[in-house]
Structure formats: C-alpha cells, structure tokens
Amino acid sequence: MLRRLRDVMVQDVDTQTRLDRIVAQIGTTMVADVCSIYLRRGDGSLELFATEGLVRDAVHRTRLKAGEGLVGLVAEGVEPISLADAPKHHRFSYRPETGEDPFQSFLGVPVLRSGRVVGVLVVQNRYARIYDDDEIEALQLIATVLAEIVSVEDLTGALFEFQIKPTTPETLKGRAYSRGLASGKALLHDPDVEPTRYLSDDPIAEELKLDSALQTLRLGLAALLAGDVQTLGGTSYEVLETFHLLSQDRSWERRLRDGVKNGLTAEASVEQVRSEHRARMSNAKDGYIRDRLHDLEELDNRLLRHLSGNSADRNEIFEESILVARDIGPAELLEYGRGKIKAILLEEGSPSSHAAIVAKAMGVPMIGQLPNLLSRVESGDTIIVDGNEGQAYLRPDPMVATALKLRFDEQSAEQRLFTATKDAPSQTLDGQSIQLFINAGLAIDLEQIETTGAHGVGLYRTEFQFMIADSLPRLDAQTALYTEALDLAKGHPVTFRTLDLGGDKVAAYMPTEREENPSMGWRALRMGLDRPGLSRYQLRALVRAAEGRLLRIMFPLVAVVDEFYRARELLEKELAWARSNGRQGPSVVKVGAMIEAPAMAWDTATLAKEADFLSIGTNDLMQFFFAADRGTAKVADRYDILSRPALTFLQHIRDAAGDTPISICGEHAGRPLEAMAMIGLGYRSLSMPASGIGPVKRMLMSLNGEAFAKHLKQLLQKGDENIRQTLKKYAKTNNVILE
C-alpha cells in the first residue's frame, strides 16, 4: 500500500488529482466503499478535500464545524474511532449532499503533523463491519504519510490555505515573571527534529537503525542515571528514571517497530508516535496523564535526535530571539548569554524560580504558564512580548504591532522618567530615607548601579559564575571577577553572597546526589560548611579582590546561629591567612547572614547581636514559610506575601533585628506594592532586580511613610482578609504611584 502511495506521490500531477488518486488507492486496498480526506482550515472546521465513494460534488462544499459529527469527534479526541453502526452514534451528523446515509460502518483516524491535527482520514463501508486492529493501524500509517504529502504540497504553495503550521495571529496570556517589552523571532529551546524521509526502501535496514537508536538512547539514560555523565541544567533524577523506565516500555517499542515493518522510515515511525503523544497531550485534562504523555514525547524527541544524528544541535539563533521553551533551568538560560535573547516565553515555569531571576538579571522580559505554547509557535515566528501584562502576541497583525510599538515608545518615555528621578534623594514624602540596591549576578549587571541610581549591590549571587563555567573557576578567575565587580561598582558597596549552589542551581561539573527535596537539601551554606575547601577558596578570592576596600560578605540559608559562627570562622581564617602572608587585606569587613529559613527568623535577635547586617531572602523564606515550592508553577504564587501571616512574620523579624541593619533582597522587594508594605513594616533597605528600582523609587517618593505605617499596623490588627486589595486602595486614595 505504501509503495503504491509513493508512486502517487512522485507523479507529476496537481495536488487535487494526487489526493483523488490517494483516496481511490486507499479505498481499493482496504476494500472500503468510501475513503475521504478532510483537512482542517484555519477556523478549525474540517473540509472534505477528496473522496472516493461519496458524492463528488460535496468536495470543498462539505465543511464540518470544529467538533461536528464523527469526523469532528476524531479530530477532537485525537484518536481513531471505529464503529460498526455509525448512524446510531449520537455524534453522527447527517449531510445529505454527501449521499452518506447508506454507509453503516465508519473508521476515522486523525492526520497529525507535529502534534497538530491537520485532518481526518475516513473509510466507510455499506454494511456493518468491524475494522480490526491491523486495519486501524494501517490507516494510521497512511495518515502519517498523508500528513507529509499535504504539508509538502502546502509548502510549495499549492491550492491550500488551511493550516499545517499556525499562521494566524494569536495572543497568549500567561504570568509575567520579568517585566519589559520586546519583539523578535521565535527560537525554540528544544527544536523539533523533523524526519527527512517518510517511506523506506529497505524495512530491514530501517529496523536495524531503530534498534541501534533505541540502544543508544537506553544506554545514554542508564549512564546519566548512574551518574557517569552530568546533564546541564539538572534534569532531575526522577525525570531520568521515568524516561529510563518508559524507554523499556514494550508497547511503545512495538508501535515504533510496526511502523517500520509497514514501510515507514525509522524517523517517520517515531514522528508518527510523537505526533500522537503530543496531540493527546494538548487534549488531556488530567494532570498525571499530561505529565506521562509529556515524558513520552520527550523520549520520542530524544530518539528522533539519535536517529537524525544531531543530538547536540541547537537551532539558529536570530539577532533578536525570543526564546520559547516548556521550562528552562537557570544554567541553560545563562548559556545562551545576554544580547541576542530579547525575551523568554515558557509553557510552564514559576515566578521566583532561578530562571526568572536570571531573566531579570539579564534584563529581559519573561512570561510563564502560557497554555499550549509549544504547539502554537514555529521556529522563526514573529513574536511581541509584553512582560508587563504577561501577554505574548504570536505572528501579530500589523495593526497590533503598531499599537504595541506605541507602548514600546511609552515605555522608553517611562524609562526616561526613571532616569530623571535616578538622582533624586531616595526618600518618602515625609523624609524617611530608603536605600535601594540592585541584585546582581554577572559583572555586566553592575552597570545598572549607575543607570538606575541605586546605592550599590545588595545581593551579588556569586554562584552564577560557577553555573556558566565548564569547570570550577580557579582562584585567579574568581579573584578577577570579584575585583571587576568592585571596580565597576565605583565605590558603591557590593554585598557578595557566598556560593548558593544546590537546589535548582547546579554547576554541570559538580557531582550531585539524588534528593527528594533539593531546595531543602544539601545546598547553600550547608554545602559550604561541609566543603570548607571550596568555601575558603571563594573567601580567599573575595579577600584578595577587596584589598584596601570595603568587603561585605553574607552567607545564604543560615538556619541556626551556629552555622553563622562556623562560616564566619572560615572567613576569619582567610583574613588571618592574608595578613600572615603580608597582604594588606580589606579596609573594613562586614559579615552578614541571610534569613531564609523560618527557624532563623525565630532566633533573629541572637543572630542580630553577632552579625554586622542581615538580609531576608523572601524567595526562599516564603517558600518554606508557606510550604510551597517556589519552582512549582501550581503553588509558587498561590500564597501571598501581602497576607497577615507573612506580614506579621516579617514584622516580627524586623523588630527582633533591633538596630542591626536589615534588608529585604527577594524578588518581592522590586514590586512597588510589596515594597510599600515592607517600608510600612519598618524596612529601610531593599535590594531588587535593577528593573524594579525606577518603579519602587517612584512609589516611595509619593508615599507618606509614617501615615502608611500606622495604617498598616491597624490593618494587621483588624480582621481584614484581603490586605493586597486594601493596600492597593490605600495607594490609590493617597496618590501613591504604583504603576
């Protein structure tokens, strides 16, 4: 059958004739009275494109609305439907123009291309009969080849206007993780590999190819699981374990083998299975099933890459790229570097994940939780990203593009406004001074001190450098980096946070162990104390870099005071070592601790007596406080920092810190409303992504600090349940500028 189809494919005829011949061919081979091809138009309707057995005149006239009839049901369910008595089915839709009534049995399969239903292939018989599994499979196989024919014809610009690839404008609404506007072309993080050939000349050779690819895939996964090889970006052990298990799945393998045995190339057979998984995934309501289909699809992708031999290939990076991914780890994102990536769109993702932090550090907008993003974007599509509203405009029409251009201009005007206020004193209307700092992670971020008028760097995430390096940065490299950071800061203070690796921040070259809860696992200072060699190395580099200048160091995730003592001891040893080696050492050393574990919050007063300063990492503190993982989309922003439990907790910490300087350095500090609340609680120092400085400064310059603090105090005592709303209202009535 496939051989005959191939003959039809190479004939030099127009598309319509080709389709007519195909349906005739299928009808004969499957001993069916009817064979029809329905193709999907841009509006989701299914149009009869060719038929053998139905009234010819109905071709291009019969159009079924999305979801209409049995054909619509096949498209909707993305699964074959086989019925011995079709007219009895409640979804049967009668179309007199097709002359359909005498046909009893019905078999319809979806025509899938890259996981999208592009049509439905149907056979019908006059008398009631049951189509067996072999027939269903054969028709699915033909549908795979048909999808290819149709898309090739489409590319050569034949008579079709229907959608193989999405071409119409679409607007997707997600959640804004990093603000800003950008436009560019879609760059798929994990681009699909498309088969180059569909029909095989030699099924035995294809099966051998498939065998070898399966073996390579399984061995590769086993090696990853055994820890012999490291993955970049930290594909978790559980995910690898699932892939490994699924790769042993017999029914998956059988489906692949059947395709090859029946005349598809190995690649086409994988593509067929992948398309089914993907199409079913975008339909699945159940989260568990979606996840499994997602895993299967990922496995199909890996296999297809092995088959096409370009496992390491990244696709072309455009000058102005909008990176599109299901999800992405911070290390992978850093790998792309700054410059060409103008924005990031994710189907999943979460707002205080480290990838979002990296995006903010890179100064690029990021939107997450965009539904079915991957199946709606093709590589190279034009996209406009509005990171302020959380909207992504795919293939926008020129009018929308112009309107958005206006917004871009407004943004630049706003930016200019921020630039104008950058030198104004950072104080509230009633004269309370508030220090604003930026969070940084790469030397290049330091330019932002000047552009924003910030006081300095309140949080320098030193681990970023470790995450982008191929091997552990040596002492000289670390010293050079910290020196550069201090130089670029031009006398403004820089608070270096010591290594916070672990959790989702992995360095490709550092061995990792499987953990149930990595963010509560062996990370940050815990790792630092257990690996004093690594810590002292870093502290030595910092001490060297700060010779003759102020050195501010803080330790992450201090859970009990003792950890702080031990960490400080390591630093003191390094300072002593520098002195004994005749080095000048820093002019002043200030040692701080981050409050990120609730336990530490309840012993803040003790810590405050020991530390020179404190800083609250609200990203971590809130995830532990609410027991809601910051990296899991479904729970990451489920609870509100502007709620009574969180605010009273933060009030307690503020009070317990007494006169010891204390700042807030989580992402919340960069949002005007949240920053307003922090000021109301008595915090006088905030460190945030550089993009937050302008809006936060504008907010505080329009705020009467004392009056608001009183209001907030009362609010926390009252039973007000929606503090966020009440605060918004307060801002509005009192002309505090939030937007």
Closer residue to ligand PEP, CB minimum distance, 387 or 666: 666
Closer residue to Mg ion, CB minimum distance, 80 or 503: 503
Closer residue to ligand PEP, CB minimum distance, 103 or 496: 496
Here's the x/- map for Mg ion, 557-596, by CB under 5 A: it reads as ---------------------------------------x
Could you give the C-alpha distances from 410 to 367, 407, 414, 415, 428, in angstroms and in order?
20, 5, 6, 8, 26
Q: Which stretch binds ligand PEP (CB under 6 A): 32-40, 362-370, 612-620, 655-663?
A: 612-620
Q: Rounded to 10 degrees, what is the CA torsion of 289, 294, 296, 300?
A: 160
The binder of 18, among Mg ion, ligand PEP, none, by C-beta within 5 to 8 A per type, is: none
The binder of 674, among Mg ion, ligand PEP, none, by C-beta within 5 to 8 A per type, is: none
Binds ligand PEP (CB under 6 A): choice among 39, 146, 459, 543: 459
Pairing of the two strands 341-346 and 366-368: parallel
Pairing of the two strands 181-188 and 613-616: unpaired
Establish if 665 lies at the interface with ligand PEP (CB under 6 A): yes
- Min dist CB 503 to ligand PEP, Å, is 8
- Min dist CB 668 to ligand PEP, Å, is 8
Q: Which residue has the tokens 């109301």?
A: 680
Establish if 620 lies at the interface with ligand PEP (CB under 6 A): yes
Closer residue to ligand PEP, CB minimum distance, 293 or 593: 593
- Min dist CB 447 to ligand PEP, Å, is 21
| Nearest partner of 377 among 158, 114, 40, judged by Cα | 114
- Min dist CB 534 to Mg ion, Å, is 18
The binder of 357, among ligand PEP, Mg ion, none, by C-beta within 5 to 8 A per type, is: ligand PEP
The binder of 345, among ligand PEP, Mg ion, none, by C-beta within 5 to 8 A per type, is: none
Q: How many residues bind ligand PEP (CB under 6 A)?
A: 11
Here's the x/- map for ligand PEP, 479-508, by CB under 6 A: it reads as ---------------------x--------
Closer residue to ligand PEP, CB minimum distance, 344 or 665: 665
Closer residue to Mg ion, CB minimum distance, 456 or 617: 617
Number of other residues whose CB lies within 10 A of the CB of residue 234: 21
Could you give the C-alpha distances from 2 to 145, 262, 655, in angstroms and in order?
8, 8, 77
Query: 117 with 144: CB under 8 angstroms?
Result: no
Establish if 360 lies at the interface with ligand PEP (CB under 6 A): no
Rounded Cα gap, residues 537 and 543, in angstroms:
10
Closer residue to ligand PEP, CB minimum distance, 52 or 667: 667
Question: Burial level of 689, CB count in 10 A (0-12/13-18/19+)?
Answer: buried
Here's the x/- map for ligand PEP, 9-48, by CB under 6 A: it reads as ----------------------------------------
Binds Mg ion (CB under 5 A): choice among 206, 276, 297, 620: 620
Q: Which residues contact 678 (CB under 8 A, 6 or more apart)?
A: 650, 664, 668, 669, 686
The binder of 461, among Mg ion, ligand PEP, none, by C-beta within 5 to 8 A per type, is: ligand PEP
The binder of 269, among Mg ion, ligand PEP, none, by C-beta within 5 to 8 A per type, is: none
Closer residue to ligand PEP, CB minimum distance, 253 or 515: 515
Number of other residues whose CB lies within 10 A of the CB of residue 251: 7
Establish if 618 lies at the interface with ligand PEP (CB under 6 A): yes
Rounded Cα gap, residues 171 and 177, in angstroms:
17
Establish if 619 lies at the interface with ligand PEP (CB under 6 A): yes
- Min dist CB 733 to Mg ion, Å, is 35
Q: Which residues contact 588 (CB under 8 A, 6 or more apart)?
A: 550, 551
DSSP state of 199: B
Closer residue to ligand PEP, CB minimum distance, 95 or 497: 497
- Min dist CB 582 to ligand PEP, Å, is 36
Closer residue to ligand PEP, CB minimum distance, 396 or 617: 617
Pairing of the two strands 685-688 and 435-440: parallel
- Min dist CB 456 to ligand PEP, Å, is 16
Establish if 351 lies at the interface with Mg ion (CB under 5 A): no
CA atoms lying within 13 Å on the CB side of residue 594: 29
- Min dist CB 616 to ligand PEP, Å, is 7
Query: Residue 50 is inside which H or E element, if any?
Result: strand 46-52
Binds ligand PEP (CB under 6 A): choice among 5, 147, 217, 357: 357
Binds ligand PEP (CB under 6 A): choice among 68, 258, 596, 629: 596
Q: Which residue has the tokens 């062996």?
A: 522
Could you give the C-alpha distances from 278 to 12, 78, 187, 263, 375, in angstroms and in order?
33, 10, 20, 23, 8
Rounded Cα gap, residues 239 and 680, in angstroms:
44
- Min dist CB 627 to ligand PEP, Å, is 15
Q: Alpha helix locations (H) across 348-490?
A: 354-362, 373-376, 398-421, 447-452, 463-468, 475-488
Establish if 461 lies at the interface with ligand PEP (CB under 6 A): yes
Q: Alpha helix locations (H) across 30-82?
A: 69-77
- Min dist CB 267 to Mg ion, Å, is 44
- Min dist CB 700 to ligand PEP, Å, is 20
Write the secondary structure of 300-367 as one string of H (helix), E (strand) and C (coil).
HHHHHHHHHCCCCCCCCCCCCEEEEECCCCHHHHHHHCCCCEEEEEECCCCCCCHHHHHHHHHCCCEE
- Min dist CB 675 to Mg ion, Å, is 18
Pairing of the two strands 46-52 and 34-40: antiparallel
Rounded Cα gap, residues 411 and 382, in angstroms:
20
Question: Which amino acid is present at 97?
Answer: E
Closer residue to ligand PEP, CB minimum distance, 276 or 596: 596
Establish if 178 lies at the interface with ligand PEP (CB under 6 A): no
Query: Residue 538 is inside which H or E element, if any?
Result: helix 532-545
| Nearest partner of 643 among 584, 721, 566, 528, judged by Cα | 721
Q: Which stretch binds ligand PEP (CB under 6 A): 100-108, 226-234, 396-404, 613-621?
A: 613-621
Closer residue to ligand PEP, CB minimum distance, 39 or 665: 665
Measured at the alpha carbon of residue 599, what is the angle toward residues 632 and 574, in degrees to the nearest 5? 95
Binds ligand PEP (CB under 6 A): choice among 365, 617, 670, 689: 617
Establish if 467 lies at the interface with ligand PEP (CB under 6 A): no
Q: Alpha helix locations (H) across 121-265?
A: 133-155, 203-225, 237-247, 250-261
Q: Which stretch binds ligand PEP (CB under 6 A): 373-381, 585-593, 618-626, 730-738?
A: 618-626
The binder of 348, among Mg ion, ligand PEP, none, by C-beta within 5 to 8 A per type, is: none
Q: Which residues contact 610 (CB under 8 A, 6 or more apart)?
A: 561, 564, 565, 568
Q: Which stretch binds ligand PEP (CB under 6 A): 6-14, 386-394, 616-624, 703-711?
A: 616-624
DSSP β-bridge partners for residue 185: 321, 382
Q: Which two tokens stand for residue 234?
A: 């930290």
Rounded Cα gap, residues 649 and 163, in angstroms:
54
Binds Mg ion (CB under 5 A): choice among 195, 617, 689, 694: 617
Q: Which stretch binds ligand PEP (CB under 6 A): 71-79, 222-230, 403-411, 615-623?
A: 615-623
Question: DSSP letters of 583-613?
Answer: ---BSEEEEEEEE-SHHHHTTHHHHHHH-SE
- Min dist CB 739 to ligand PEP, Å, is 24
- Applying CB under 6 A, the residues found at the interface with ligand PEP are 357, 459, 461, 500, 596, 617-620, 665-666
- Interface ranges with Mg ion (CB under 5 A): 596, 617, 620
